[in-house]
Structure 1
Amino acid sequence: MVKHSKGYRTRTRKLLTKNVRERGAVPRLSLLMEEFKEGDYVVIKINPSVHKGMPHRRYHGKVGVIQGKRGKAYIVRVTLGDKEKVIIVRPEHLAKFNGIKNG
């Protein structure tokens, strides 16, 4: 038997697809220029049309805290199970978190 490949985007067929009307569209300029401050809560929302600064699929939909900035990207602290991970994500893949976060 042949082993299937285990690349960075494996098992993302539904996760990293856009609607028909959104395909090929580049992110809005306001989305790219959005500024986050240290301590802000953000949701990691992967934009499949932008490959630069894209986090791994396991972080999609997770809520994290901005720790700082590195170039154009942000350093985000995310809780994954019982571990805390620090990932570097560009603003195209981040959205402000509007829910209530205790802690």
Structure 2
Amino acid sequence: MPNSKGYRAGTRHKYRRGFRQHGMPGLSTYLRTFKLGEYVDIIANSAIQKGLPYKVFHGTTGRVWAVTPRAIGVEILKTVKHRRFRKKLYVRIEHVRKSKCRDDFLKRVRKNQLLVQKAKKEKKKPQVPKRWPKQPREGEFVKFKKEQVKMLRPVKFELDF
């Protein structure tokens, strides 16, 4: 119904499970440990109705601020018009997974620390690489034989009446 205003209205595709991923979650879901300050993604698992976050929070990333036996407290930034408010939610573990948003940053920090340590051993100033956006490809010379080159020209336009 287009005018339904239920709690799960309009979530037919949003809460859909993946191919061959239906049914109850595995034990590894419940054995994960969450620490305070960690980044987590709120991804609703439609097989579990308890502790299901509201549909607008599906896919958001937040930080863990509380850990309870069956749920965790997640602090997110909710956008309302041009402002962003901090909002604290309690979400069950089935609807949360660890975020990969900081993986690239942490990998870069470790790499830079190794470079700094190496420079200190050699008693040099550390050269920490700067990140650059992907640059255009460099130019190349194409080698060919003159017999292989064909000049193409447009056909001359003629009006026939």
Partner of residue 37, structure 1: 35
Partner of residue 65, structure 1: 63
Two-structure CA RMSD over aligned residues (Å): 2.1
Q: Which amino acid aligns with 2:98?
A: K
- Residue 20 of structure 1 deviates from its aligned partner by 4.6
Partner of residue 54, structure 2: 56
Partner of residue 87, structure 1: 89
How far apart, in 2, do the equivalents of 1:10 and 1:48 lie?
Answer: 13
Q: Per-residue CA shift, 1:55-100, capped at 9, x if unaligned? A: 0110111000000123411111010111111110011111111123
How far apart, in 2, do the equivalents of 1:85 and 1:97 lie?
Answer: 18
How far apart, in 1, do the equivalents of 2:98 and 2:34 lie?
Answer: 8
Partner of residue 14, structure 2: 15
Structure 1 gaps of 5+ residues are: none
Partner of residue 97, structure 1: 99
How far apart, in 1, do the equivalents of 2:70 and 2:101 lie?
Answer: 26
How far apart, in 2, do the equivalents of 1:96 and 1:18 lie?
Answer: 18
Query: Which structure has the larger Rg over C-alpha atoms?
Result: 2
How far apart, in 2, do the equivalents of 1:95 and 1:42 lie?
Answer: 6
Q: Which has the higher contact order (CA 8 A, sep 6+)?
A: 1
Q: Secondary structure at the match of 1:76?
A: strand
Aligned length in residues? 100
How far apart, in 2, do the equivalents of 1:7 and 1:90 lie?
Answer: 21
Q: Per-residue CA shift, 1:10-61, capped at 9, x if unaligned? A: 11010112235222x2101011221101101000011110111110110111
Q: Secondary structure at the match of 1:92?
A: helix
Structure 1 runs (4+) greater than 3 angstroms displaced: none
Greater shift, 78-87 or 93-102, is seen at 93-102
User: Where is the strand percentage greater, Structure 1 or Structure 2?
Assistant: 1
